[in-house]
């Protein structure tokens, strides 16, 4: 049973661990041994499966998707766990979820701001079709790393269940 005590709930969950410790070295060695240098791959899938099980939904929540593979021929390097929220289906948006995580002492952030929208690139040629803007508006980076234990994943799932009003889990 996850430890959701006040003491554990006050512990910060970081977006990405700022250093590598003993836990990460096991995955790094596994990546090199298997010639699979994209460390999170199956770990991201496992994280998504755990969150789906915790929320009781096919996806983490209706209107929320993890980054999909274009086809079975691909195995992407998902080094950061990200979700995209469809506010019309989910009933909430990226910023409300980010603030809910912040209130729970869980770090998250919007997907990167597209370069063509950053002041330093104002006036530079840009080839856009609205995809990058939509991803920035609706995408959220979740905490990632081997240092997130079962209690941390349970805390993340609790925020998701509360914010997406999932009561069947």
Q: Which residues pair with 126 in a beta bridge?
A: none
Q: Give the whole-angstrom CA distance, residue 160 versus residue 166.
A: 8
Q: Give the whole-angstrom CA distance, residue 166 versus residue 168.
A: 6
pLDDT for the residue 97: 94
| CA within 13 Å, CB half, 91 | 9
**Top-tier CATH class for 16-163:** alpha beta
Residue 38 pLDDT > 90: no
Torsion of CA 155, 41, 14, 146, to 10 degrees: 80
pLDDT for the residue 66: 77
Average pLDDT over residues 77-82: 70
Q: Write the pLDDT tens digit of every residue in 98-131.
A: 999 999 999 999 988 899 999 999 889 999 999 9
User: Which range in 28-32, 101-105, 109-113, 146-150 is most confidently predicted, on average pLDDT?
Assistant: 101-105
Q: How confident is the model at residue 48 (pLDDT cuts 50, 70, 90)?
A: low
Average pLDDT over residues 54-61: 63
pLDDT for the residue 34: 55
Question: What is the share, in percent, of the chain residues with pLDDT greater than 90?
Answer: 27
For residues 2 and 127, the model is more confident at 127
For residues 47 and 138, the model is more confident at 138
* 33-37, 49-53, 161-165: the lowest-pLDDT one: 33-37
Residue 25 pLDDT > 50: yes
Who's near 111: CB < 8 A, 6+ residues apart?
82, 135, 136, 139, 140, 141
């Amino acid at each position: 049973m996850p430890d959701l005590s006040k003491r554990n709930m006050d512990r910060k969950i970081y977006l990405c661990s700022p250093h590598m410790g003993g836990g990460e070295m096991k995955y790094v060695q596994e990546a090199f041994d298997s010639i699979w240098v994209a460390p999170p791959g199956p770990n991201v899938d496992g994280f998504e499966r755990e969150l789906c099980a915790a929320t009781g939904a096919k996806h983490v929540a209706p209107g929320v998707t993890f980054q999909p593979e274009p086809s079975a021929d691909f195995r992407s390097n998902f080094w950061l766990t990200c979700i995209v929220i469809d506010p019309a289906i989910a009933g909430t948006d990226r910023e409300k979820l980010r603030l809910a995580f912040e209130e729970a002492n869980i770090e998250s952030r919007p997907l990167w701001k597209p370069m063509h929208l950053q002041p330093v690139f104002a006036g530079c040629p840009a080839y856009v079709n609205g995809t990058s803007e939509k991803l920035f508006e609706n995408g959220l980076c979740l905490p990632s790393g081997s240092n997130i234990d079962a209690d941390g994943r349970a805390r993340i799932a609790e925020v998701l269940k509360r914010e997406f009003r999932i009561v069947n889990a």
